[in-house]
Structure 1
Amino acid sequence: MSSFSGIWVALATPFRDGEIDFPALRRLARQMTDAGVAGIVVCGSTGEAAALDETEQLAVLDAVLDAVPGAAIVMGLSGSNQREVLARLDRIQSRRVAGVLVPPPPYIRPSQAGLLGFFTTLADRAEVPVLLYNIPYRAGVGIEFDTFAALARHPRIDGVKDCGGDAMLTMRLIAETGLQVLTGEDAQLLSTLALGGAGGILASANLRPACFVRVHALAAAGRLDEARALFYRLLPLVRLMFAEPNPGPLKAGLAASGWMTNELRAPMLPASPDLAQRIARTMDAL
């Protein structure tokens, strides 16, 4: 099993005048690795993958691989057409990736048996580790414990990005499956680490990556009081990141830091002016 322990950044995709801003993308990727993150996830929800066609998604992946050649990179892989998803998997794993992050097929809401078949077929085809992405509020269906337990026996399925919002499920995944559990809910990082989770795949970490890396290091060392104190300093920023749809608030923060223009692809909108000002003030306080 590959290790996915630590802080992984759900990388934002910069745009300029409607197109991918590759220089900004490369700078941002280097900033993350310089801060000591465990790895980078590209073309996930935070990366606005749904607004990118496949050619653009692969171009983003290639640019990040080129910018940080020694870093661990996980690629988001989402779709409702299983044959197309498998074909895209082949093209992704022809690159040097650390794994793929795969949610349930969105919109169609398959049964648990359908999910088991979907993920098993994909993992059978995979030559790289597979991370399951449990995000019911986007996919329309959640992965239940028994399905996780069955999938955990597959040699290619190593972990889960946990956005299920179910504390009991999180604890059972950690205690009973052997899967590496990484929270995808930024505000649940400390609780997941305290329960024995592996880490997090976080949008907020784009803004203060070294601080999130420090929270993980302190928790791993058993210094929970210090980890808690630092995490509570970060929590106001975390809350603001999800006060409006992600990644609008995040891009406002990144723009305020000079990392990219404050631009999203429609129908996603930038953060409201009031929220953008609150984010800038909170970042200054940190």
Structure 2
Amino acid sequence: MQAETESASHSTPVQRDFSGLWIPLVTPFDGDRIDHAALKRLVAHYRGSGSAGLVVCGSTGEAAALSDEEQMEVLHAVLAEARGLPVIMGLSGYHLGKTAARIRALGAEGISGILLPAPSYIRPSQAGLIEWFGALADASAVPLILYDIPYRTGSTLDLATLLALASHPRICAIKDCGGDPAKTQALIADGRLQVLAGEDMNIFSTVSQGGHGAIAAAAHVHTQRFVRIVELLRAGETAQANALWAPLLPLIEGLFSEPNPGPLKALMAHQGLLRDGLRSPMTRASAALAERLQRLDKSIGS
């Protein structure tokens, strides 16, 4: 780990529980502008859902299509409406100094944590990844949730790397999209990082094995059912959880059969939660898929 920065101290480990079901909030658009009215309604809608909190400016939130200024607009709008509901901020970058500066600034925003992937495109060594995450954790006043998603970043976080990073007092959890069940099980067994399923299809397996929860895009719909599934699994009530989980599987598959969040926004628009708009190069879901999602959604019921 790098030397301590002025903005943070290792003296007192951060204590933060990221267990439960988190919603990686979509960013609603009105034409090419952020739809702040719809964003406010979404936060109010999910505030009473029983979810653990919201993740803003993640991949589901189309953060890559937002300027830094727009990302802060979204964060401030969500925080203003959250009323105590925990908020995690997604942040990516590949310039260490600029990313550390943003992390230091975010520490004053009242967020509960920062979701941080490996730097994209660069594909550093494992030693480079330890240096990267360690330096950014040193710069942070709030907990970091590692985002292991090699199919987006081009970098795989090896188990040994994750275990080394788990010793940092401000690296507290992982959003697990690594695609390696053995690594997931090893992290759960180690116990130092709270393991959150990042692939929606893996929620049941991850939490039933001892994972702490999930960050699930599909949970924008049937949110209370997803919350209950996680609760039941953490309580060891696998059969009851499976009875609620099985009907969701075709819907989850449909929501990711075209690039996320296009299908999700199509279904949410049908439900009247937002306009069906995305920023290029993301595109709206096909009409056939939108109709199929509506049928699948209706078939699940309450």
TM range (shorter): over 0.9
Q: What is the distance in 2 between the residues matched to 1:282 and 1:31?
A: 22
- The list of structure 1 runs, each at least 4 consecutive aligned residues, that deviate by more than 3 angstroms after superposition, is none
Is 2:34 aligned against 1:16?
A: no
- Structure 1 gaps, min length 5: none
Instruction: Give 1:168's aligned amino acid.
Output: A
1:178 matched to which residue of 2?
Answer: 192
- How far does residue 263 in structure 1 lie from its aligned partner after superposition? 0.4
- Structure 2 gaps, min length 5: 1-14
Q: Counterparts in 2 of 1:46-125, with a 5 A limit?
A: 46-125=60-139
| Secondary structure class of the residue paired with 1:164 | coil
Bigger drift between 87-96 and 2-11 goes to 87-96
CA offsets, 1:20-44, max 9 Å, x none? Answer: 0011111111211211100100000
Contact conserved, 1:254 with 1:260, CA < 8 A, in 2? yes
2:182 matched to which residue of 1?
Answer: 168
Q: How many residues in Structure 1 have an aligned counterpart in Structure 2?
A: 286
Q: What is the distance in 1 between the residues matched to 2:104 and 2:138?
A: 12
2:142 matched to which residue of 1?
Answer: 128
- How far does residue 69 in structure 1 lie from its aligned partner after superposition? 2.0
Contact conserved, 1:58 with 1:92, CA < 8 A, in 2? no
Instruction: Give 1:19's aligned amino acid.
Output: R
- How far does residue 110 in structure 1 lie from its aligned partner after superposition? 0.9
Q: Calculate the TM-score normalised by the size of structure 1.
A: 0.99
Q: Counterparts in 2 of 1:1-286, with a 5 A limit?
A: 1-286=15-300
- How far does residue 185 in structure 1 lie from its aligned partner after superposition? 0.2
Instruction: Give 2:229's aligned amino acid.
Output: V
Q: Calculate the TM-score normalised by the size of structure 2.
A: 0.93
Bigger drift between 255-264 and 218-227 goes to 218-227
- How far does residue 16 in structure 1 lie from its aligned partner after superposition? 0.6
CA offsets, 1:227-281, max 9 Å, x none? Answer: 0111111111111111001111110111011001110000100101100110111
CA offsets, 1:75-123, max 9 Å, x none? Answer: 0010111111111112222100000000000111111111000000000
Q: What is the distance in 2 between the residues matched to 1:277 and 1:107?
A: 36
Q: What is the distance in 1 between the residues matched to 2:164 and 2:267?
A: 40
Contact conserved, 1:10 with 1:46, CA < 8 A, in 2? yes
- How far does residue 177 in structure 1 lie from its aligned partner after superposition? 4.7
Q: What is the distance in 1 between the residues matched to 2:70 and 2:50?
A: 27
Contact conserved, 1:219 with 1:227, CA < 8 A, in 2? yes
Q: What is the distance in 2 between the residues matched to 1:160 and 1:90?
A: 20
Instruction: Give 1:180's aligned amino acid.
Output: Q
Q: What is the distance in 2 between the residues matched to 1:74 and 1:283?
A: 28
Contact conserved, 1:152 with 1:177, CA < 8 A, in 2? no
Q: What is the distance in 1 between the residues matched to 2:165 and 2:250?
A: 36
| Secondary structure class of the residue paired with 2:273 | coil
Instruction: Give 1:69's aligned amino acid.
Output: R
Contact conserved, 2:210 with 2:234, CA < 8 A, in 1? no
| Secondary structure class of the residue paired with 2:195 | strand
Contact conserved, 2:145 with 2:174, CA < 8 A, in 1? yes
| Secondary structure class of the residue paired with 2:88 | strand
| Secondary structure class of the residue paired with 1:109 | coil
